[in-house]
Structures are given as structure tokens and as C-alpha cells.
Chain A
Amino acid sequence: MAYVELHCHSYFSLLDGVSSPEALVEAARAHGHTALALTDANSLAGAVRFWKAAQAADVHPVFGAEVTLAEGASLVLLAQNQGGYANLCQLITASRLDQMATDGDGDVADEWPGKIEARLTWEWLYQHADGLICLTGGRQGPLDAAILRHDFAGAASHLQRLQEIFGPAHLYVELQHNYLPQTHWLNAQLAGLAQQFELPVAATGNVYYAHPEYARLRDCVTAIRHQQTLTAARRAGHLALNSSYSLCTPPEMARRFAPYSQALATTVEIAQRCRVSLDFSQQRFPPFVLASGRNEFAELYERCHTELARKYPDLNPLVLSRLAHELQVIEGAQLAGFFLHVAHLMAHAASQGIRGQGRGSAGNSIVTYLLGITPIDPLAHGLLFERFLSADRFTAPDIDIDFDTNRRDELIAYIYEHFGRDHVAMVCNHVTYQARSAIQDLGKVLGLPPAELVALSHSVDAHSASAAAEQLRTRLPQDAPAHHPLRLLCELLPQLDGAPRHLGIHNGGMLITAQPLAQLAPLEPATMPGRVVVQWDKNAVEDCGLIKLDVLGLRALNVITDALAAIERSGVEAPDLTTLDLADAEVYAMIARGDTIGASQVESRAQMGFGPRLKPVKFTELMMQVAIVRPGPIQAGSVNPLLRRRAGQEAVTYAHACLEPVLHDTYGVLLYQEQAIQIAMAAAGFTAGEADLLRRALAREDEATIFGPLRQRFLEGAAKQGIDAAEAQAIYQQLAGFAGYGFCKSHAGSLALVAYAHLWLKRYYPGPFYVAILNNQPMGFYSPEVIINDAKRHGVAILSPDIQASDYAYTLAYDAKGAPHLRTGLRAVKGMGNRAWAQIARVRQERPFASLADLARRSKVPPDLLETLIMAGALDAFGERRQLLWQLKQLDLRTHTLALPAMEPDIALPALRLLEQVAWEYELIGYSAATQILALYRPQLRQQHILSSWEVKEAPAGQRVLVAGLTIVVQRPGTAKGVTFQTLEDEAGTVDLVLKPRVYERLRAIVRGERLVVASGTVQREGGAVNVLVGYMWGLSAISGHPTR
């Protein structure tokens, strides 16, 4: 007896179903089912994955959902056609969004409810039933519930209502048999009722997992959902009575439904009636409306050619042919409107003074460059268009745009307004179980004590839950019984691997569609006020032919905007950074001496160590530096060959002569994704589309594809190009070895451009640069303390916070000689929030504060904050800090009293020692504007022959040294085989320490526990980089005693 399962939940029925759509399809195929429906609870989140898997397995997909009605019962709705699918999406959307109170304009009122339970009204069902087939929902449905409470009239009334809504041809009475008590009786009643209404019956398995062995995991996720242990969840009646909710074989279903064989046959008929495609490539983007009524492509063509003269004054045939080629591809893919829309957004941002620039593969296009979407000239940097779009194989273009973080929301609001709220939503992000979250959640429901769970979580460093299970198994006693919690945990973890935990919001992915979005995919409110997300993630969006636009926030751009504004404020015209000469030797000299603190992309410890070794002298080399100092190339061992070859210490070789033009700029090292595409085209005659397919397989480390058909195609293609088999093998081997770490060259270009702008500002406008960096904290690699001391070393004087002079943010002023002075903003003081600042600013505007008492009375700042301000030095204008603290205690801060002077006479208190003062400032601001703390220890350090960072950098390789400093970075990167890197800072600069694994293990408590340390070790030099290979380390107090000042 043939049978199709029509009521089936995947793990996208969050914390209820436990199998992936792919696993369910595979089980259906293995059981010989010709079709399968996916009916997740109020969700189509798994629909696209289900669709793809079903197509691959030759199983006919039926799209549906289990929708929850207002009273809590649920129905199964199946989409019979595209109209039904659109209605289903709208119903699921309405089941959440319709609950939200709206104001007169249809916008959601003030209170944003965030995530809410789905509840669908009958009114919506009446209005959107076309094209849908309804099953009555089984035990969760309104019909069964009425019968089980012997309300037969109520059951008939429900059925009557459903028949009115869906009509007799689209309504089926659902029979289930999950071996629950009263099933025989219930099904007999349902069959009788169906007969009475002349309706067909349909059997379903109410599936929650592909295979019975996942029943235990379903118990666990049910308990997780109810936030109970398994025992408590059982007691509360939340767990299933048995494990009969797996996808069954047709014979098993025939056994369960022996008296109702027609109910099985009906399922096949229903599935055959349902025909829906999720190919929405025609709905990609709304048309770009042109006033003149001209077509989009003509407009795009004209805009690009108008801009040509400005960006390519010495126009040459190469530029024209590149533009013609790109326009042809864009026209073929019908994407002209999309490019015009993105250009419009960029123009709008610019008109509002919002800095933005495209990043990623879009930078490979001359069209995006001409439209002002991306900042890099693709021809000048040899960027390959096919990495972005190719003529022979359509892939959705990926345009990511970075905007000032502080103003990104303005742009998002504009996008909603411009396209209409019905056409825009944020793409979701399915937050999935990984090692630690899976251990935590499963461990809790298994009843493991919290302390043990924390210990278990910390004992694994695996990323996936499966790998964590492997690591935990080693801790399992050999004689542990079957029900031992750790054994159970190890068994369950792999089953939970990758399952979605909850629905989050993508960083900046926005879906904008021609058709109202709620007809293509369900929407639901996100936690973030005002944000609505589509239930599909970025992969699903791409797989069904839609295009998302990434609207991202980048603080590094804020820095540029703020620095330029600070320049303007100083009365100087701000430079135009879009026309910067990218060959400024001063900028490259900074990289070569590791003077890059604060500069985006090149400031990390690893980058600061690499710059002096590479010593880049041109922009393409800066791009290379940005791309190569990453875990992938480091692990693949690409870094040292590149450095040696560039220095002429090693010959540049190529696996075949045809690779030389492709790899020449990177000294024969395969670094960029674009190079992989070019190699496949040059060596094996791949088309651009085929080459990009290989590039994607490499990026995903998809070994089946890399070592399967593509390899064969490559070797055959290479043979046709006259490359002998051994050479072809070697080239392919190089490509395969490249898997996973390639960096998009145009992306490297965008990032390098920001890095260059930062370095240039740091070099020529240090005051504005540092004020911008400090006002955008937290960002980058270092704390404000490091930035401040770097600023001092670059001639920027740092002033302490001052209640009379400081704003909330850092501010910049210049002395008579034009030297910059950076005033610490009050925001830097611990505990100072916007509210307290507003109080201070309001009354200070009236007149300056005359004293501590005046400040306290007029601003009404709480005493504990006043105490902090005193200790941080912000009230030094009113007197010595210890004296001020004494006065504070004497103040009568009650309101409505006369402003009498303090009654207690001032007493003579000893002034603070400088070290105490600095220690307070470090504690409350994070640094001391007056001095770097090591300067106070310097006399004793000298006596003990402990060097400064500057002296270490001057020392010859191999010299044994002692150096002291404040720890600013400790890193133990996975790529470094257990080696730990520590950076110390003193009043002269920074010094990098290297600790081998055994040394680190011995010194771990000091490295992690002491902020001020003294290290003993040997100076190492490589290129221009200097390190100290540590042998031993002490806490500074242990070796230096107390500073004298």
C-alpha cells in the first residue's frame, strides 16, 4: 500500500522536531515514499533546504505548515499551488505580526513585543484559504480535542466551519496512530464524522524525527523548551508517551491503519495535487522606476558611460571592452535594475553624509566602481569580474556595503521607507547548536549539576557538538553504566549537532523583493524593536533565486568620518580621501616599522610583526598583507615562502608556465580566490562559471566535488591545453591545498583602502585620528590605554578629564604652536553615563562650577559618582584629591536646604603619592593622562638592568635581556602550535614576547594573572620584527619593590 507522509516536522519546528529536512527526505527515499510533506510548526524556515534535498533525492516535495489557531489548537495546511503557497506564507506571517498592536498608519505601536507565539485568527483563514489543502490536525487539532472531551456537537461545528473555509475538495479528516490510549475509539469517531460530512480521511504519522533512535533527543529538546529537567518534564506530562513518531515505512503504516486503507491511498492523491516551486528568481528585486519611462539597462548603460570620463580620463580600449563585457553579463542576468537600486542607496547615503563603501566580490566590477558602489578600480588592481558574476552560470551577485556604524540604522530605515515595508525584511540567521551550547542545554535536562556543566564546557575546545562528544568520551569511566549522564550526553551530542536553537537576525542582510515579501516567505518579529525578519537565512534566499543586500556597519569608517570632521572643526579644509595617492612612502614606512596601532586591519600583534618583515612599498603589497596574515595562509605555510621570494632569498617557481601571469604579483604563492579561478581557466580551459564552481567547492572544502568530477574535468581540460599529466596533477594539487583559505582580492582591496586611510590620517593628522579612534571605542585590537600612549608617542598631548573643560566624548584642541591636545572625555570615567552627563552639561552651560559643593548641588550627580570623578582627577581644579574626598563626606546633599558651608573644618591630609594617583586613574579611566605607569618604576628598573621596550628593539639578536611592561595582549592562536604571544607596553612603546608551550605552562599564572611583569629572555630578529623568546617571568612587584615617587 503506497503512502505519503503529510504531517512531518523537521528541526525547524524549533525545540520540537529533531531531524534535518535532508535526513527526513533521505529516510523517505529509503522507505520508498515517492513524496513527502514538510509541515513545521508555523514555519517554512526549512522549506528551501527541503526543496533542494527532495529534488536531489527525486522525492516530490509538498510544502506545508502546522499553523496554530488562536485557541491553541492547530491545523495542517498544504500548499496546492503557487497561490496557496503565497497564502500559507501570509497566514504564518499574520499568526505573529497580526497580534501586534498598530497605530493609525499601520505601523507597530510603541511597545515592541519581540518574539511571540504564533496565533492565527479564523478571520485570516477565511480570507486566505485559496490554494490550500487542510488536514484537521490530529490530536493537536480542534476536531480531535472536541471528540476526546466527548463534545460531539462541538466537533461537528468545527468541521462545518472548516468545510466553509476550505470547501469539501480541500478538507481532509486526519487520522493518526501513534500508539496513544483511545486511538482506536478516536479514529472510529473521526471516520464516522467524516462519513457524515462526506469528507475523505487521510492518515498521517505526525512525524518528529526520521528514525526511532532520535526519540530520546526529542524528549531532551522538549525538556529544553520547557526549561525543565527530563524528570520534571515527564512529571508535567510534556514528554511523548513512546517513540512512535518516526517516519514509517508503508507496511508499518498499513499495519497501524488496517481498518482505514483508503486513508493511506488518499495521502498519495493529495501529494499529487500539490505542485509548488520555490524558484523566485523572477521576484528578485522591484523594478527601478525611471521617470522617463526608459528601460533599466539603457539607464545603467548611460550612467556608466557618463562616469567613464571622470574615472578613466585616459580612456583605453581595455576599459571599454571590460565595461561592455560586464554590461552584457548584467543585461543577460536581468540585473540592471538591481545595480541601479544599489547605486541609488549609495547616492542617498552620500547625500546624507553617511560614509559607505562596497566590499567583497562586488569590488571586482567596473560597473560597481563607476556607479560609486565600490571604491577600488578593478582594472588597476587586476580584479576579475567572474569572481562576482559570470555569463555562463547565474549566481546571485553578492553586494555587501559597509556604512558608518552609528548611522547604519538611518539607511535601513530609508530602505524600508523607499521600497515599502511590505517589500523589505532582514534575513534571519539560524543560531545552531555548537559544542558548548549543546553541552549546556543537554547537560541541564539530564540533571547534571551546574558546576559540573561549567567544568565540562570548559574542558572541550571543539567547535561542533560531535567533536565535543569525542573529547568528552575520554573522560567517561570505562565501567560507566548505560544511563550514566556523561555517557548519555556523549550519545546525544552528535544528534544535536547543527540543529537550530533559535532564530536570530543576520548582521545586515536585507531582502528586498518585487512581490510583497510575505507572499514569498513568512516574516516574524525579531527581538530587536522594529525589526522584522524573513524565516529564511542567506543560503535559503540565494537558493531560491532571490538577492539579498548586505547593509553592514563598520566602525573603521566612523573613524574616517569623525577624523575628517575634527579636521574641519580645526578650521582646516578636510582632505578628500577618495583621491589619495596610494603610494605615499611615509605611510609604508609606518608599516615597515610596525607603527600601526589604531589602523584598521594592520594593527593586530600578528600584523605589526608581519609589516616589518614584508616592508610593503605599494598598495598591492598592502592588499597582500591584509589577505595573508590570517589563519588559513598561516596554517598552509604560505607566509614564509612569500617573504623569502619577495626578498630574493628563494627562487619564484611555478607548477607550469601558464601560471606565471596569474601568480606573478604574489611571487608564485596562491593567495586570492580570483587566482584560483584564473588558474582553472588558464590551465584547464574552464569557463568562468566552471572555474567559479571550483572556487566555491574549494571555499567550502567540499572534498566530494574537489576530488570528484571537477578534478576529472580539470585534468582532461589541462591535457587539451597541452599540459602533461604530472604537471596538471601538481597544479590541481596546489588548488586543492588552497581549499578554504583563499581571500577575495577585491575584498582585500576594500579593507586595504580603509587601512591606508587610517595610516595616512595617523601620519598627517594624528590629533583628529586619535580623537576619532577613542570616540569609537570599543573597536579594534587595543584598549584606550594603548591608544593613548601611542598618541603621546606621536606628539599628541593627553589631558586628564576635567569637569570644567571635558565634554562627554574626547575633544581636540591645539595650543598656540599648533600642537594637538586631546582632552579625555567624561565618558571615559567609570560609571559616567549619558544621564549623569546630561545633568552636568545642562547646569555647566549656565555657568562654570565654582567648587565641589556647587557641582554637587547644581548637577545632583550622586555622591558615588562624585567620588569617582574626584579619584579620576576630573575635579583637580577644585583641590587636592584626598582633600576633596574629605569635603565630599562633609557635604549636606539634601535638597531644599540652605547652601551652607561645610561645618567640619578642613583638616590637613597628606597629598596623594603619584603612584596612588596613577593607580586610581588606571582603575577608573583605564590609563593615566600624566604618565604611563612603567615610567614610575623606571629608576628601580634601571638599577636592576631591566631594559625599556625601545632598548630591546635596539638590542642585537641573541642578547639575553630583562624587560618590564604592562600586559596589553595575550594570544594563543590555534595556528601557532601551542605558542603563546604576549605584548608588553611601557612608556617607550611595545615589545612582543614569545612563550613556547612548556614555558607558558610553567608561567601561566603570571601571564594570565599579573598585569605588570618582568620577562627574561633572548632577543630574536627576523626582517624588521623583534621578539623576546621568554625563559622566565615575574610579577613586577616581586622584583622591583615599590617605586620611589
Chain B
Amino acid sequence: MTRLPADPQPIAITLSSQCRPLRLSWRQHIFVIEQITDEWRVETDWWLTGGVQRRHYFTVTTVQGALFVIYQDLLADQWFLEQIYD
């Protein structure tokens, strides 16, 4: 089932020495990342009011069998969960 949180949910991430996500923590649950299946970066329209957004997205699968779309806000250095497929 796909869940789309209304707003991106803040999450805590544990990174590897290569700065790759290893584990994510959301609503007091810890998910161990099995594989990063895709990643991409998005930068928004820098010339418009509101300023630029820079995000690094990851699609990850977890040992629990879920698939998460998470991203790192590269400007604020914070992590968010955007979609869950479980």
C-alpha cells in the first residue's frame, strides 16, 4: 500500500562513512536500509521568490520489506520522508 504523507515528515538518518543512508528513524520506528535503488537531486527555480530548494532524493528498500522515498534538504541539512510503499 502507498502512503503519501500530506507533508514531508522529518526523519532521523544514520549515515555510513561514505555519507550514504544506513538506517532511518520515523515515528519511533527504526528501519534498516537494505539497498539504495535510486537517487537523484532536484534544485528548484533559483530566480523566483522563495529562494532555491536543493534536495537529494533516495529510493531505499528496508530489511522490513518497505520502500521509502526520502530526501535530504541540502541547504538545511535535514532529512525527510516523502513516500512509503509497504
Q: Tell me the A residues contacting B by CB distance below 8 Å.
A: 179-185, 215-216, 219, 230-231, 234, 241-244, 255, 258, 446-447, 481-483, 485, 488
**A179-B41, A180-B40, A242-B41 given as contacts; is B47 within 8 A of A255 (CB)?**
no
Which of A216, A258, A446, A481 touches B18 (beta carbons < 8 Å)?
A258
A244 to B48, CA, bound (A): 20
Contacts of B42 in A (CB 8 A): 241-242
Of A184, A219, A234, the most chain B CB neighbours within 10 A belong to: A184
Please judge, given known A-B contacts A241-B40, A258-B18, A483-B51, whether A179 and B46 are in contact too, CB under 8 Å.
no
Is the C-beta of B49 less than 8 angstroms from some C-beta in chain A? yes
A230 x B38 contact (CB < 8 A): no
Q: Which residue of B lies closest to A256 (CB)?
A: B39
User: Which residues of chain B are near A481, meaning CB under 8 Å?
Assistant: 49
Are the CB atoms of A181 and B40 closer together than 8 Å? yes
Report the minimum CB–CB distance from A818 to chain B (whole Å).
74
Q: Which residue of chain A lies nearest to B46 when distances are taken between CB atoms in the complex?
A: A216
Which residue in chain A gives the minimum CB-CB distance to B47? A230
B37 proximity list for chain A (CB < 8 A): 184-185
A selection of 26 A-B contacts at a CB cut-off of 8 Å is: A179-B39, A179-B56, A180-B40, A181-B38, A184-B37, A184-B39, A185-B37, A216-B46, A230-B45, A230-B47, A231-B45, A231-B47, A234-B45, A241-B41, A241-B43, A242-B40, A242-B43, A242-B54, A243-B43, A244-B41, A255-B18, A258-B18, A481-B49, A482-B51, A483-B49, A488-B47
Q: How far is the CA of A241 from the CA of B46 in the complex (A)?
A: 12
Tell me, in angstroms, the Cα distance from A483 to B44 when the chains sit together.
Answer: 13
B41 touches A183 (CB 8 A): no
- Whether a CB of chain A sits under 8 angstroms from the CB of B36 is yes
Q: Name the residue among B18, B38, B39, B47 with the largest chain A CB count within 10 angstroms.
A: B47
Interchain CA distance A439-B36 in the complex, whole Å: 44
Residues of A within 8 A of B48 (CB): 231, 483
Q: CA separation between A184 and B59, bound complex, in Å?
A: 10
A481 and B48 CA atoms in complex are apart in Å by 11
Contacts of A182 in B (CB 8 A): 38
| Min distance, Cβ B48 to any Cβ of chain A, angstroms | 6
Q: What chain A residues lie within 8 Å of B56 (beta carbons)?
A: 179
B side interface size, CB within 8 A: 18
A231 to B45, CA, bound (A): 8
Q: How far is the CB of B15 from chain A (nearest CB, A)?
A: 13
Q: A485 to chain B: which residues have CB within 8 Å?
A: 47
Q: What is the CB-to-nearest-CB distance from A484 to chain B, in angstroms, rounded to a whole number?
A: 10
In whole angstroms, what is the CA distance A243 to B46 when docked?
11
Question: Which B residues touch A482, using CB under 8 A?
Answer: 51
Chain B, Cβ-Cβ closest to A447: B47
Alpha-carbon distance between A241 and B53 when the two chains are bound, in angstroms: 12
A150 CB to nearest B CB, Å? 16
A243–B47 Cα distance when bound, in Å, is 14
Nearest residue (CB) in B for A492 is B47
Residues in A whose Cβ lies below 8 Å from that of B49? 481, 483
Min CB distance B69 to A, Å, is: 11
| Contact between A179 and B40, CB atoms less than 8 A apart | yes
Whether the pair B39, A446 counts as a contact (CB closer than 8 A) is no
Having A179-B39, A242-B54, one finds 9 other A-B pairs with CB under 8 Å, namely A182-B38, A184-B37, A184-B39, A231-B48, A241-B40, A242-B42, A243-B43, A244-B41, A483-B51
Interchain CB contact under 8 A, A183 and B38: yes
Closest B residue to A239 by beta carbon equals B45
Flag B52-86 by CB within 8 Å of A: 1 or 0 each: 00101000000000000000000000000000000
Separation in Å of the B76 CB from the closest CB of chain A?
Answer: 16
Residues of A within 8 A of B50 (CB): 483
For B38, the chain A residues whose CB sits under 8 A away are 181-185
Q: How far is A483 from B49 in the complex, measured between Cα atoms in Å?
A: 6
Closest to A244 in B: B41
Give the residues from 11 to 41 in chain B that come closer than 8 angstroms, CB to CB, to chain A: 18, 36-41
A219 and B43 alpha carbons, distance in the complex (Å): 12
Complex contacts, A180 vs chain B, CB 8 Å: 40
**CA of A446 to CA of B37 in the docked complex: distance in angstroms?**
37
Q: Smallest distance from the beta carbon of A449 to chain B beta carbons, Å? A: 15
Which B-chain residue is minimally distant from A177 (CB atoms)?
Answer: B39
Instruction: Collect the chain A residues with CB atoms within 8 Å of residue B39's CB.
Output: 179, 183-184
Complex Cα spacing A846 to B47, Å: 70
Is B46 touching A183 in the complex (CB atoms < 8 A)? no
Instruction: Give, as a whole number of angstroms, the nearest-CB distance from A5 to chain B.
Output: 19
Given A483-B48, A483-B51, the answer on whether A184 and B43 have CB atoms closer than 8 Å is: no
- How far is A183 from B18 in the complex, measured between Cα atoms in Å? 19
Interchain CA distance A482-B47 in the complex, whole Å: 9
Compute how far the CA of A629 lies from the CA of B17 in the bound complex, rounded to whole angstroms: 70
Q: B47 touches which one: A179, A184, A242, A483 (CB < 8 A)?
A: A483
Q: How far is the CA of A215 from the CA of B51 in the complex (A)?
A: 15
B47:A446 contact, CB within 8 angstroms: yes
List chain A residues, Cβ under 8 A from B43: 215, 241-243
| Complex CA–CA separation, A482 to B49 (angstroms) | 9
Contacts of B40 in A (CB 8 A): 179-181, 183, 241-242
CA distance A219 to B47 in the complex (A): 10
A546–B40 Cα distance when bound, in Å, is 47
Which of B40, B50, B54 is most buried by chain A, counting CB atoms within 10 A of its CB? B40
Nearest first, the 4 A-B pairs at minimum CB distance are: A179-B41, A242-B41, A181-B40, A242-B43
A595–B39 Cα distance when bound, in Å, is 78
Nearest chain B CB to A477 CB, angstrom units:
15
In angstroms, Cα B18 to Cα A185, docked, is 21
The interface residues of chain B lying within 8 Å CB-to-CB of A215 are: 43
A230-B52 Cα distance, complex, nearest whole Å: 14
Q: Which residues of B contact A243 (CB under 8 A)?
A: 43
Contacts of A183 in B (CB 8 A): 38-40
Residue of B whose beta carbon sits closest to that of A446: B47
Q: Are A184 and B41 in contact (CB under 8 A)?
A: no
The chain B residue with its CB closest to the CB of A482 is B51
Complex: how many Å from CA A184 to CA B40? Answer: 10
A244, A255, A483: the one contacting B46 at CB < 8 Å is A483
Complex contacts, B51 vs chain A, CB 8 Å: 482-483
Which of the listed residues B18, B36, B37, B45 has the most CB atoms from chain A within 10 Å of its own CB?
A: B45
Which residues of chain A come closer than 8 Å to B54, judged between CB atoms?
242
User: Complex: how many Å from CA A179 to CA B54?
Assistant: 12
A446 to B46, CA, bound (A): 11
A220: nearest residue on chain B (CB-CB)? Answer: B47
List chain B residues, Cβ under 8 A from A241. Answer: 40-43
User: In whole angstroms, how far apart are the Cα atoms of A364 and B13 in the complex?
Assistant: 76
Contact, CB under 8 Å: B18 / A184:
no
Interface centre among A179, A231, A447, A481 (most CB of B within 10 A): A179
Residues from chain A with Cβ under 8 Å of B41 in the complex: 179, 241-242, 244
Chain B residues within an 8 Å CB radius of A446: 47
The residues of A that contact B18 with a CB separation of less than 8 Å are: 255, 258
What separation, in Å, do the CA atoms of A219 and B54 have in the docked complex?
A: 15
How far, in angstroms, from A482 to B46 measured CA to CA in the complex? Answer: 9
Can you name the residue of chain A whose Cβ is closest to the Cβ of B40?
A181
Q: Tell me the bound Cα distance from A242 to B41 in angstroms.
A: 6
**A234: which B residues are within 8 A, CB to CB?**
45
Say how far A978's CB is from chain B's closest CB, in angstroms.
38
Cα distance A258–B18 when bound, in Å? 10
List chain B residues, Cβ under 8 A from A447: 47
* Assembled-state Cα–Cα distance A243/B43 (Å): 7
Measured between alpha carbons, how far is A241 from B37 in the docked complex, in Å? 19
- Considering the complex, give the chain A residue whose CB is closest to the CB of B57: A181
Quote the shortest CB–CB distance from B39 to chain A (angstroms): 7
Query: In the complex, A447→B46 CA distance in Å?
Result: 13
Q: Most chain-A Cβ atoms within 10 A of its Cβ — which of B42, B43, B56?
A: B43
Chain B residue at smallest Cβ distance from A258: B18
A242 to B43, CA, bound (A): 5
The answer on a CB contact under 8 Å between A184 and B36 is yes
> With the chains together, A482 CA to B75 CA distance in Å?
15
- Which residues of B are found within 8 Å of A230, using beta-carbon distances? 45, 47
- Expressed in whole angstroms, the minimum distance between the Cβ of B23 and any Cβ of chain A is 19
Question: Which residues of chain B are near A181, meaning CB under 8 Å?
Answer: 38, 40
In the assembled complex, the Cα of A481 lies from the Cα of B18 at a distance in Å of 36
A216 to B44, CA, bound (A): 11
